A and B are shown apart, each in its own frame.
Chain A
Amino acid sequence: MALLDKFASTAAIRDQLGADGQDPTDVVIDQIISPTEGLVGGRHTILAGTNNYLGLTFDPACVEAGKKAIEEQGTGTTGSRMANGSFATHTALERDLANFFQLPYGMVFSTGYAANLGTLTALVKTGDTVLLDSHCHASLYDGCQMSGANLFRFRHNDIKSLEKRLQLLGDKTENCLLITEGMYSVLGDTAPLAKIVELKNRYGALLLVDEAHSLGVYGECGRGVAEAEGVLGEVDFVVGTFSKSLGAMGGFCVSPHPELELIRYVSRPFIFTASSSPSIIASTHEALRQLRARPELRETLWRNANHLYEGLKALGLHLGPQVSPVVAVRLGTKEEALSCWNRLLEAGVYTNLMIPPASPGGFSYLRCSVSAAHTPEQLERIISAFADLKTQLL
């Protein structure tokens, strides 16, 4: 039994999470009504924690593309691309993604997590060095740790902290990869990529940027924060996901370096995973077309982001540092956050509960992600629910 004893502490945490009502890690949405509404426990609930930034999950063209792919290509690929071969639709999506980023090389993975693991474990090895922003996602940490490279963190969005580490590395900077995100997922703040690019050029390092949350959100054409900062052409590897703005599942890496094509041969998370099913590839590809053809989606998203941020700010709540489609309300203890999360759910508003150690600075947060599909009325209901919460609990 000793092997299983380790789960006792996990069971205690789970019981604690469920003590105040619903366990936030075990929410079941009985019926999805739209990109922004579902039935939870028989109650109509506004979904304010989906990362469905452009609201494309029910887009008729995306749904039709997925249906057509199932009818024409079947339900799955039943194996990895290296062993079973690629479907033409996989390679077409890779070409279009690279084209969208105005880069020559693109590669598709089965999940966003696999994209980071697959890229990093191939890109850096024992003897190489990684400098990682301290707020980076777990998939970036895991990829670095699995790679065997020396792994150092710098303070979040702190250029001086990054430069200090580059100085300490001395002549090892040519074997150094810098890693940041575009928009960070918990607080919705963005990386100072123009300054980071300046440093990477000065010290001769390479730069990987994870635009998982910023694809479709930032930049004139929706390419992400690197585009918005005017440095997309100087980023060495852009990784991202299909599971947020593109409304499906999967991940990608695009790059100006021809070596990306060689990563296919050495990336175990790519080689030993079944490739994405035809319907996922088809709806993702259609969502990418929608993202490019309908900039008004981004305009609506930002109008909604401003609406929610300003509404919650007017309540005197402590929010993230900048207006963003991720609006995080900072709270105190885990217990307080859990209680607030439950009261919001009872009021018909689903948010994401973020508690340490998954949230930065030892604080707990109720995280909202805004969608272009949210109506002004839904946003007002979210603000109203927070106002009630503030009166009752905060």
Chain B
Amino acid sequence: MNVRFDKIENKIKELLASYLESSGHPELEKHGEITGATNLVSDFTLDSFQVMEFLMEMEEAFDIMIDMNNLSNAHTVNELAKVVASLLKK
């Protein structure tokens, strides 16, 4: 489980870096390395529309669907990885 969780978390970090780069987001260089504790909103000032766009990138990468109502406690890369892990277990 831990190995798999690490893989999920690493994949989300890659996706986030790629999303920031492709959307020309100015915060990537300033912030440096993305970690499990990286908060999409407070660290990268993604607005709600961009967060939703990034979640769709995640859905497609993991072939899952993320319920918009289950995201109130998922703000960091680590918390998002937990959401993905729980969906992949189903």
Query: Which residues of A are in contact with B by a Cβ distance under 8 Å?
Result: 134, 144-145, 148, 150-153, 155, 161, 164-165, 168-169, 356-362
Contact = CB atoms under 8 A, between A and B. Distances in A.
B67 A357 contact: no
Given A134-B52, A356-B50, A360-B49, A152 B66 contact: yes
B64 A155 contact: no
Closest 6 CB pairs of A and B: A357-B47, A357-B49, A151-B68, A357-B48, A152-B65, A356-B47
Interface in B60-88: 60, 63-69
B65 A168 contact: yes
A43 B53 CA distance: 41
A359 B49 CA distance: 8
Contacts of B49: 356-362
B47 A152 contact: no
Nearest to A355: B47
Contacts of A168: 63-65
B37 interface: no
Contact of A145 (B52, B56, B64, B69): B69
Contact of B50 (A144, A151, A362): A362
A153 B67 contact: no
B49 to A, nearest CB: 4
Contacts of A152: 65-68
B2 interface: no
B56 to A, nearest CB: 6
A161 B53 CA distance: 13
Contacts of A164: 60
B66 A357 contact: no
B56 A153 contact: yes
A165 B47 contact: no
A359 B50 CA distance: 10
B69 A150 contact: yes
B52 A153 contact: yes
B65 A165 contact: yes
A151 B69 contact: yes
Contacts of B64: 168
A235 to B, nearest CB: 23
B47 to A, nearest CB: 4
B67 A151 contact: yes
24 contacts: A134-B52, A134-B56, A144-B68, A150-B67, A151-B68, A152-B65, A153-B52, A153-B68, A155-B56, A161-B56, A164-B60, A165-B65, A168-B64, A168-B65, A169-B65, A356-B49, A357-B47, A357-B48, A357-B49, A358-B49, A359-B49, A361-B49, A362-B47, A362-B49
Contacts of A361: 49
A362 B23 contact: yes
A155 to B, nearest CB: 6
Nearest to B49: A357
Nearest to B65: A152
Contacts of B65: 152, 165, 168-169
Nearest to B24: A362
A164 B52 CA distance: 17
A153 B71 CA distance: 13
Contacts of A356: 47, 49-50
Contacts of A134: 52-53, 56
A134 B68 CA distance: 11
Determine which residue in A148, A357, A360 has the highest number of CB atoms from chain B within 10 A of its CB, and name it. A357
A117 B64 CA distance: 28
A357 B53 CA distance: 11
